[in-house]
Structures are given as C-alpha cells and as structure tokens.
C-alpha cells in the first residue's frame, strides 16, 4: 500500500502545548496554568441570546459571510475603538474563531515560495498555516531587551524580494507584549516602503492593562494593506462558541470568503446571534474580566519578584513569560520536572518558537485561588533547584 499521507503535513510538528495537557489529564492532583482560555463563563445575557435564537428556531445556515447584523456590529465596534470604517457587506466576514481567519488569510494571499515574516515567540498556528499555504515562513526573533516588541530594523533585516506578508501578533501570546502607536508607526513605514501586507492578529485587543489597544489599521496607508483578525473567544470568554472575524480590503475578503464557503459554509448560527449581543451590550463584562485579569497579573509579577525570578512586565493578553535560564535546563525539561515533581503544568517557551527557549508561559486565566496554590508549588520547585 502506498503512503496515504502528504509530506507537507507529515513535516509539521504537533503543537507543543497539547503534550502537557495530555499529561495533566493523566496525573492525579495536577493543576494547570497551561491553557490560554478564560476561566469565566460566557456572560449570562450573551448565553441567553444564543438560547433565545434556538427557541426561535434559528437553526439554519446564515449567509457565507455571516449575519448582516453581526457584521454591522463588528463594523461599529472597530469604528468606535479604532476610528476606522469597514463596509459590513464587503469588508467584514465571520469565521470559525480567529483560527480560521488566520488560515484563510494565508491561503488567500500567498503563492508558492512567497515569504511570510513571523515574529516569535508567538501563537502556534502561524507557522504551520503558512507552510500549509505553501509559503516560506521566515522567523523574526523578538527580544526581551526590546520588551518583546517588534522593531522596524528587525523587519528590514529579514525582508527579501520574496517577502509578501508580515504577521503582527500583538497583544502577544505567549509574552503578553503590546505594541504602542509609535512602534506601529515605524513598522508601517517599512511595510509601505517594501510593499508588504500585514496579517494583524488582535484577538487579545480587549485585554490590555496600560492603555487601550492601538491597531495598525488606524495608521495612514495601513487599512488597505492589512487583514485585521479578531474574535469573541478571549474578550467575552466564548472559546467554545468558535467565532471570530476578518476585516480587510474587499478583494482579499472576497477570496477568503470563497475558501470559507467551500470549506466551512458559515460560522455557527447560534454563536452569531449570541455575538451580536456581546458586541451590543458586553462592554461592562469585558471591563470586569479585564480588571480581574489585571489583579492576577500583578499578583504573579509580585510573586516572581519575591522568588527572584526575572520576569518581563506584560501589558496584554493573560500570560506572563518568566525567564528560567538561570536554572541551566531547557524549558521543556523545566516544565516536565515541574509537572512530575510538583504536579503543576505550565508551557515551555520553546512551544512558541525556538527563541522562546529559556522561558515558560504561565497563563493567569485561572482563579486567584488556583494561582496561589500554583505559586506555592512553583516556589517549592525552584527552591529545590536552587539548593
Ligand atoms: C494569539 C492567538 N490568536 C488566535 C487564537 C485563536 O483563537 P480562536 O480561534 O478561539 O478565536 C488564539 C488562541 O489561543 C491566540 O492565542
């Protein structure tokens, strides 16, 4: 029998995050700070809209691009947060999470051999999705000395004649780094000069702790060069509803919708009705969750300071990314031992790219009570290593 599998797929490594979850499930008494998923329930009024839509028998496909009223709400949201207007009919469509939008953006925009600049450490799907689209991923290493921000020089260093896309992964998973307006302005200059496009993954845009998120689409000349990706998973605690969206120039959106139409048909209908409510009346819930995350963020930073563990102060998302280089072991070994010896699961920085080696990602999408137990275990583990 011949090999049923394609070489391209075989060559892609499975996500380094999952491996630890599987072990956690098999280890009794283990606690995890590994998952990048809000611990809050979806706010009740949002769930209620989903239920109501079912009661009303709204159980059919929506249009491929998604409910018109939802696209209108997305348009209103971007307008009120970024001051940028998108046509809800031609420039916005609804996807199955930000994940699908990332995949479609690559597939719609690259030809074989086009280079895609991917800053790392960053979310695990960019590189595989770029490869599956036959692009060549070119990694830019984000550095702690730059607060894990992307600099224009770093982009320029990696641009070639073949570079087509820059992925902009901020607020960042796993570092929690954010880009400020002045940082984005420098990047925008390079993007325009080198005639690049940007895939801006803004899934954590609502979770910033030091001022409001600024999107690159709000800068002159960038709206026409950017695919803005966002969704409902993180801001509204709606991971399981599987809903996101993409905004961008109509010609690119049309091709992304074409693939979406053949592969997916439409995003889940119930979730779309619930999301209309989230965008119309969810600001207060987001603000409460943000406050709670911020509280936990400060708690963890304070703990690491107490432990004498160097930790960059993250101003976005719900992760901290302390440096564990001083223990002289790989981040994978550190995490494996922490799980085996203290039954605490965190994620090795190397799961987010080679340059994440020497760091670990700790999610604070867990209750303070859980975080406190986790920090006791963590302290016990590192004091053993130190003695
Ligand atoms: C940076 C980033 N982008 C995108 C996603 C995908 O989110 P979803 O598909 O649930 O919208 C995640 C999920 O963890 C993420 O961390």
Residue 15, pLDDT > 90, answer no
315 lines ligand 1 (CB under 6 A): no
Q: Of 150, 116, 355, whose CA–CA distance to 227 is shortest?
A: 116
Residue 192, pLDDT > 90, answer yes
Residue 25's pLDDT band, with cuts at 50, 70 and 90, is confident
Supply 74's token pair: 């997305």
| Cis previous bond, 121, omega within 30 | yes
Q: Whole-number mean pLDDT of the chain? A: 96
Residue 20, pLDDT > 80, answer no
**Which ranges in the chain are annotated with CATH 3.40.640.10?**
59-281
Residue 19, pLDDT > 80, answer no
Mean pLDDT of 141-145: 97
Question: What is the whole-number distance in angstroms between the Cα of residue 123 and the centre of ligand 1?
Answer: 8
Supply 222's token pair: 């960038």
Question: What is the whole-number distance in angstroms between the Cα of residue 177 and the centre of ligand 1?
Answer: 15
Q: Under DSSP, is residue 163 helix (H, G, I), strand (E, B) or coil? A: strand
Q: What pLDDT digit, counting tens, does each position of 90-134 carry? A: 999 999 999 999 999 999 999 999 999 999 999 999 999 999 999
**Percentages (nearest 5) of helix, strand, coil residues in the chain:** 50, 15, 40
The upper half-sphere exposure of residue 99, i.e. CA atoms within 13 Å in the direction of its Cβ, equals 14
Residue 24's pLDDT band, with cuts at 50, 70 and 90, is confident
Q: Of 205, 234, 195, whose CA–CA distance to 364 is shortest?
A: 234
Mean pLDDT of 304-323: 96
Residue 65, pLDDT > 90, answer yes
Pick from 203, 207, 356 the residue to mutate for probing ligand 1's pocket: most ligand atoms within 8 Å of its CB. 203
pLDDT over 70, % of the chain: 100
Contact call for residues 246 and 229 (beta carbons, < 8 A):
yes
Question: What is the whole-number distance in angstroms between the Cα of residue 365 and the centre of ligand 1?
Answer: 14
Taking the C-alpha atoms of residue 78 and residue 80, their distance in angstroms, rounded to an integer, is 5
User: What pLDDT score was predicted for residue 18?
Assistant: 74
173 lines ligand 1 (CB under 6 A): yes
244 lines ligand 1 (CB under 6 A): yes
Supply 36's token pair: 């990048």
Mean pLDDT of 234-255: 98
Pick from 34, 97, 98, 171 the residue to mutate for probing ligand 1's pocket: most ligand atoms within 8 Å of its CB. 98
Assign a CATH topology to domain 7-42+284-386: 3.90.1150
Residue 387, pLDDT > 80, answer no
Q: What pLDDT digit, counting tens, does each position of 346-378 carry? A: 999 999 999 999 999 999 999 999 999 999 999
Contact call for residues 108 and 255 (beta carbons, < 8 A):
yes
Mean pLDDT of 285-297: 98
231 lines ligand 1 (CB under 6 A): yes
Q: Which helix (H) or strand (E) holds 344?
A: strand 344-345
Question: What phi and psi, each to the nearest 5 degrees, are found at residue 57?
Answer: 75, 25
User: What pLDDT score was predicted for residue 386?
Assistant: 82
Q: What pLDDT digit, counting tens, does each position of 224-240 carry? A: 999 999 999 999 999 99
Question: What is the whole-number distance in angstroms between the Cα of residue 96 and the centre of ligand 1?
Answer: 11
Question: What is the whole-number distance in angstroms between the Cα of residue 200 and the centre of ligand 1?
Answer: 12
User: What pLDDT score was predicted for residue 17?
Assistant: 78
Residue nearest to atom 7 of ligand 1 (CA): 98
User: What pLDDT score was predicted for residue 167?
Assistant: 98
Contact call for residues 138 and 149 (beta carbons, < 8 A):
no
Q: In the CATH scheme, what is the code of domain 59-281?
A: 3.40.640.10
Taking the C-alpha atoms of residue 224 and residue 221, their distance in angstroms, rounded to an integer, is 6
**Which ranges in the chain are annotated with CATH 3.90.1150.10?**
7-42+284-386
């Amino acid at each position: 029998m011949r090999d049923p599998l394609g070489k391209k797929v075989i060559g892609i490594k499975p996500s380094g995050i999952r491996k630890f979850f599987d072990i956690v499930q098999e280890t009794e008494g283990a606690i995890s700070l590994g998952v990048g998923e809000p611990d809050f329930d979806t706010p009740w009024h949002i769930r209620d809209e989903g239920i109501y839509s079912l009661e009303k028998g709204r159980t059919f496909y929506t249009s491929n691009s998604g409910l018109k009223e939802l696209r209108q709400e997305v348009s209103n949201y971007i307008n009120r947060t970024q001051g940028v207007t998108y046509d809800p009919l031609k420039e916005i469509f609804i996807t199955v999470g930000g994940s699908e939008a990332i995949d479609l953006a690559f597939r719609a925009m690259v030809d074989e051999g086009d280079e895609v600049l991917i800053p790392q450490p960053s979310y695990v799907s960019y590189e595989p999705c770029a490869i599956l689209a036959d692009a060549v991923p070119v990694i830019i290493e984000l550095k702690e000395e730059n607060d894990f921000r992307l600099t224009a020089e770093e982009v320029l260093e990696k641009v070639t004649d073949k570079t087509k896309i820059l992925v902009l992964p901020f607020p960042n998973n796993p570092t929690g780094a954010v880009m400020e307006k002045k940082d984005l302005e420098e990047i925008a200059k390079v993007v325009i000069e080198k005639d690049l496009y940007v895939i801006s993954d803004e899934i954590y845009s609502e979770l910033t702790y030091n001022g409001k998120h600024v999107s690159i689409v709000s800068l002159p000349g960038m709206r026409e060069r950017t695919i803005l990706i966002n969704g409902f998973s993180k801001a509204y605690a709606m991971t399981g509803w599987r809903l996101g969206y993409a905004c961008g120039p109509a010609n690119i959106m049309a091709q992304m919708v074409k693939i979406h139409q053949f592969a997916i048909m439409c995003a889940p209908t119930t979730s779309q009705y619930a999301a209309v409510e989230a965008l119309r009346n969810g600001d207060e819930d987001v603000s409460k969750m943000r406050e709670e995350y911020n509280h936990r963020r400060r708690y963890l930073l304070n703990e690491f300071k107490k432990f004498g563990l160097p930790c960059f102060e993250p101003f976005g998302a719900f992760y901290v990314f302390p440096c564990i280089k001083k223990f002289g072991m790989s981040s994978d070994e550190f995490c494996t031992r922490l799980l085996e010896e203290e039954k605490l699961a965190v994620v090795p920085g190397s799961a987010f790219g080679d340059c994440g080696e020497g760091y670990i990602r700790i999610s604070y999408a867990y209750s303070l009570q859980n975080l406190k137990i986790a920090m006791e275990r963590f302290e016990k583990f590192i004091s053993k290593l130190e003695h």
